[in-house]
Amino acid sequence: MMFKNFNKIILKKTIPAWENTSDQHVRATYGYLEGWISVILNLVMAVLKTICGLWINSISLLADAFHTFSDVLSSIAVILGFKISEKPQDDEHPFGHGRAEYITTFIVSALLILVGAEFLKQSIEKLVNPEPVDYKVAVFVVLIFSALIKEWLFSFAQFLGLRINSQSLIADGWHHRSDAIASLLLAVALFITQFDLYVIDAVLGIIVSFLIIYTGLDLIKDCSSEILGKAPSEEFIQEVRDLVLNVEGVKNIHDIQVHQYGQKKYVNVHIEVESELNVRQSHYIADFVEGVLNKQLKVNSLVHTDPYQES
């Protein structure tokens, strides 16, 4: 909430048509805005953390530096996903390129897991053989500053993601928050090391490594589900049902199918109309239903008519 007004100012200053979120180009611009801001800030933070980690010989801080750098890769994946998704449909991709976002997220998530496992191995080795960590106030300040920046990035990604209903932006936001939490934990751990409790560095390294691995697994789970054709929510199905049954002439509805390609939804439904209606009348009702669904739910729809039979 503390960043809400600031987020609105950035949005209005950078995207002239920011209110037209149904336009694919405007939606993509939202993704580019969050992505490039995230790339620049995370790159700066990753470099600072790497320098600090080498300076004070901290495995947990080096692991956190990669965690921050992984956000750079994730944001690049978001940018690429929006870029490819913006391409129009063609003969080879009749439903568009909306699922490209999931594929890029899958690749970055797999890399996250591999590198998280490597840092976990190094952290365990350092737990067995602790090494001195040199406490520096400057490094403590960098970690606090990083946590604040990452919390704002979380807020900004959530703000934009909710406005355009983008799971990739929302997921990228949680990636930022996990890094903010890690940076705060490391700041506390670094403070403790000045009392010669160097083992805390290895312990925090293990925690951050698990955080990296968990983030990768969670993202893979989400994007795999979308690639395989995740079922729509019960709320969405009920909304389709209510809209269709409210159309005059529709007696019943069945076989509701929803296919999602990125932000585009395709809805196929079977409606039942009075059997006495001729083809022209039935077609008129089907066209009207398609118009209602397209306008109210911002989807592409296809309606098939069947004769109504009382049960």
The winner for highest mean pLDDT among 20-24, 53-57, 152-156, 215-219 is 152-156
Confidence of residue 45 (pLDDT cuts 50, 70, 90): very high
Q: C-alpha distances in angstroms, 99 versus 24, 53, 82, 94, 143?
A: 14, 38, 10, 12, 36
What is the rounded average pLDDT of the residues 123-146? 81
Query: What pLDDT was estimated at residue 1?
Result: 58
Is the pLDDT assigned to residue 130 strictly greater than 80?
Answer: no
Calculate mean pLDDT across residues 243-264: 83
Mean pLDDT in residue range 58-84: 80
Q: Which of 94-98, 101-105, 129-133, 205-209 has the lowest mean pLDDT?
A: 94-98
Higher pLDDT, 307 or 19: 307
Tally helices (H) and strands (E) across the chain: 9, 3
Provide the residue type at 231 as one letter.
A
Is pLDDT above 70 for 229? Answer: no
> Does pTM top 0.85 for this prediction?
no
Ranges of H-type helices in 90-233: 100-128, 137-164, 167-193, 199-228
Q: How confident is the model at residue 93 (pLDDT cuts 50, 70, 90)?
A: low
Q: With cut-offs at 50, 70 and 90, classify the pLDDT of residue 39.
A: very high
End-to-end CA distance of the chain: 52
Phi, psi dihedral angles at 211 (to 5 degrees): -65, -40
Q: What percent of the chain has pLDDT over 70?
A: 89
Taking 90 as the threshold, does the pLDDT of residue 221 lie above it?
no
Report for 31-45, 131-145, 198-212, 222-236: range of highest mean pLDDT: 31-45
Give the model confidence (pLDDT) of 137-149 as tens digits: 888 888 899 999 9
Contact 125, 137 (CB under 8 A): no
How confident is the model at residue 181, as a pLDDT?
Answer: 78
Sheet holding 264-273, edge to edge: 252-261, 264-273, 300-307
Task: Kindly list the structural domains of the chain, giving each domain's residue range(s) and its CATH number in brackets, ordered by start.
Answer: 4-228 (1.20.1510.10), 234-307 (3.30.70.1350)
Q: What DSSP character marks residue 133?
A: -
Does position 38 have pLDDT exceeding 80, yes or no?
yes
Please, what is the average pLDDT of the chain?
82
Q: What is the pLDDT of residue 50?
A: 92
